[in-house]
Structure 1
Amino acid sequence: MNQTLPNPLIPKTFIFGVPFSRLGFRDTLQLLVEAVKNRQATHVITANPIMVTAAGNNPAVMAMMKRAELVVPDGAGVVWAAGYIGQPVTEKVAGIELMEELIRIGEQEGWRVFLLGTSEEVIQAAAARIKDKYPKIQIVGVQNGYFSDEQDDEIVEKVREAKPDLLFVGRSADKQDLWIDRYRDQLDATLMMGVGGSFDIFSGNLKRAPKIFIRMRLEWLYRLMQEPSRYKRMLDLPRFVMKVIKEKDNVGKP
């Protein structure tokens, strides 16, 4: 593996210490495509206000987010906060859209893809539907996300043997990126990205929000309508907004 993506060259906005890329979707995609082509190890975090809050409450999460080569604003609340403090990002960069574009390009480039996360049923369905849509894509590994810490070595070895260009990890928000960060040097993967519930959407288990919800920055509401059990997590959103308003002068500091 060559050097990592040159993180210092990416323009950033800090939200409560989390370094968000200011690049728009197309520039982000181009940056990642070049990183894969150049074999530059890259950890991409698609972060929202809930993850910013988690980083503020847990120094280990904050340190992990600062080590990652790229943190993209995958949340309307982050985009709003950046604009509110006068350090705007270009736009929301949705992780699921990045994932699909990387797979589309990966089919053309002959990249190797490893899918890791969620339940066995969902991950197998996601792999099958991706293969149906992109028949020439090389899916070199499929692994559910329900494994214990004691099984980490076994899973890491499985990924390393597959040597993926793209490793997508869809576990719980408090696990996926910490897991990537802990084992990144052993995985022998080029681009590593936590994708949250994206496998549920690829599998057909959940639907992506209609465009009108996305345009109105209400994608979180549509997700809540499909998964009411998420309501406790969603309470972090108004708390995040109030914290940004209350601490405006300190929000944008590294």
Structure 2
Amino acid sequence: MKLKFLHYNISTDLPESLEGDKLLINTINPHSYCIAKTDYEFEKSLTTCDILIPDGVGIVLGFKLLYGKNIKKISGYDLHMHYLNLVNQKKGKVFYLGSSDSTLQLIQQKVQEQFPDVEVASFSPPYKQVFSEEDSEYMLQMVNEYKPDVLFVGMTAPKQEKWAFQFKDKLDASVICSIGAVFDFYAGTVKRPSKIWINLGLEWFPRLLREPKRLWRRTFISTPSYIIDIFSNKILSREL
């Protein structure tokens, strides 16, 4: 059985303009890969998005082992900054959907300081596992009245990816990006690991030390499961 992520549209080529068809962009790492194995809606949101970027050194190494191809890791943070720069050049608009009002206020202040030609708005949806139809309709209304060039969705995986996939056709935005923890990193409410850890491919380690209760499962369950799948499929590919 082939690895499911081999069918995903993994790419490290990000558009250099905001023109063209509407884009739904997601990220994948070993943990999200493992979740997608047992969550059909999440798997579909990943396999059918327009661009899926490898936000994890495990994906990069897996691709190298199975295909012999070198791809580069692009974090959700990199994706976020890429589109802020594009929107700044265009003098366009971005919308942040997710997180708390206080975090969103910090984000808006920072965007206005760093990207003076970007118009920015935001909305904090109710904190719940499943949104009601009324919740989603109101979120759509907030976004569509603003008509952003880029919509950043930060409601944690897999909820954010499934919501963006479900409502892609109803969202009046040129680009829709699910970027999760980036909201907190950019706002400064959660400190992102230093470039030393990032360059070593060990960004996960200081995050685990900082948030062990939240991140232990992805480190000690998802990562070993992913590694087993990689090597199992490598062995199977040699036997075919």
- TM-score, length-normalised on structure 2? 0.88
Q: Structure 1: any 5+ residue segments left out of the alignment?
A: 1-13
Q: Say which of 228, 231, 235 aligns to 2:216.
A: 231
Deviation at 1:115, TM superposition (A): 0.6
Distance 1:22 1:83 in 2: 14
Q: Say which of 2, 8, 33 aligns to 1:19.
A: 8
Partner amino acid for 1:146?
P
Partner of 1:37: 19
Distance 1:241 1:118 in 2: 32
Counterparts of residues 50-129 of structure 1 (less than 5 Å): 50-129=31-110
Q: Is the 8 A contact 1:209 1:223 kept in 2?
A: yes
Q: Is the 8 A contact 2:34 2:225 kept in 1?
A: no
Deviates more, 1:212-221 or 1:235-244: 235-244
RMSD: 1.8
Deviation at 1:163, TM superposition (A): 0.8
Deviation at 1:37, TM superposition (A): 2.0
SS of the equivalent of 1:169 reads strand
Distance 2:139 2:69 in 1: 39
SS of the equivalent of 1:116 reads strand
Distance 1:145 1:158 in 2: 10
Distance 2:223 2:54 in 1: 14
Deviation at 1:158, TM superposition (A): 0.9
Partner amino acid for 1:75?
G
Partner of 1:179: 163
Deviation at 1:225, TM superposition (A): 2.2
Label 1:250 to 1:123 Cα distance change in 2 as closer, same or farther (>3 A): farther
Q: Report percent identity of matched pairs.
A: 25
Deviation at 1:89, TM superposition (A): 4.3
Distance 2:5 2:171 in 1: 30
Distance 2:138 2:225 in 1: 39
Partner of 1:8: none
Q: Is the 8 A contact 2:154 2:160 kept in 1?
A: yes
Q: Say which of 133, 151, 162 aligns to 2:146.
A: 162
